[in-house]
Amino acid sequence: MINKIADSIAEAVADTQDGATVLIGGFGTAGIPGELVDGLIDQGARDLVVVNNNAGNGVHGLAALLKAGRIRKIICSYPRQADSYVFDELYRAKKIELELIPQGNLAERMRAAGCGIPGFYTKTGVGTVIADGKEHKDFNGETYILETGLFADVSIVKAWKADETGNLIFRKTARNFNPPAATSGKICVAEVEEIVPLGSLDPDMIHLPGIYVHRLIKGPHEKRIENRTTRKKETV
């Protein structure tokens, strides 16, 4: 049996190189591998190209990595929201590059890379700035554009439960982009809430086979709320 549990977060992300493409699972704060993102800040790699659905929330996780100045370019589908002020400030100051991708294309580009598919044709984006500079081809009288697979040097993902060999189970909507993100990296590091002995997981419940996972880390997890709105309690 190959035990993939790393001794520390520092060990798990140690070989992330300057200029690496890092694919981060998650959607907003759901399923984001926050401990591993913090580990990248401590590790010190710079000029990173980061792929994620969002461009950071508040001051934690991906937003903290942005604020630390470690990211040269971000590839995402939803960069601006109520609390994405770190990205907004950097982008307005022309301190970061942005490649915007429709969300379905983003998911399929991850999946394609995980399957070893270099590219695919899609109608999504035809006739918009998304199509600028991309190959166009007609099929059955309709125009498509060529999108390429998103191959990453390192993928970091968040799962709910794992065994020592890296078989992963995700929890509800926190699964989101994590499985395709995991498969598209040359190295995949998974942050999990619980690690159980081999054989403890029902094979039919495993969402991602351990063959895709190279390292595991169990970390403390703060359940953050993406955007809290409150009002004064009314008196009767």
Cα 1 to Cα 231: distance, rounded to the nearest angstrom: 54
- Could you tell me the end-to-end alpha-carbon distance of the chain, in angstroms, rounded to an integer? 64
Contact 54, 30 (CB under 8 A): no
Where is average pLDDT lowest: 37-41, 57-61, 193-197, 210-214? 57-61
Residue 32 lies in a domain: yes
- Whole-number pLDDT of residue 223: 63
Tell me the C-alpha distance between 159 and 175, whole Å: 7
Query: Does a structural domain hold residue 97?
Result: yes
Q: Which of 192, 198, 133, 134 is nearest to 164 (CA)?
A: 198
Higher pLDDT, 236 or 215: 215
CATH number at residue 178: 3.40.1080.10
**Is the residue at 4 inside a domain?**
no
Asked whether residue 48 is domain-assigned, the answer is yes
**Which of 92, 91, 93 is closest to 74 using CA atoms?**
91
- List strands edge to edge, sheet with 136-139: 119-122, 142-148, 136-139
The count of structural domains within the chain is: 1
In a domain, 223, yes or no: no
pLDDT tens digits, residue range 131-148? 999 999 999 999 999 999
Percent of the chain with pLDDT over 90: 83
Domain, as residue range, for 158:
9-218
Is 0.85 topped by the overall pTM? yes
User: What is the mean predicted confidence (pLDDT) over 108-125?
Assistant: 97
Report if residue 1 sits inside a domain.
no
Task: Tell me if 211 is assigned to some domain.
Answer: yes
Structure-token pair, residue 12? 């798990």
Check residue 228 and give its pLDDT. Answer: 57
Decide if 231 is inside a domain.
Answer: no
**Torsion angles phi and psi, residue 230, rounded to 5:** -130, 165
* 157, 191 Cβ separation under 8 angstroms: yes
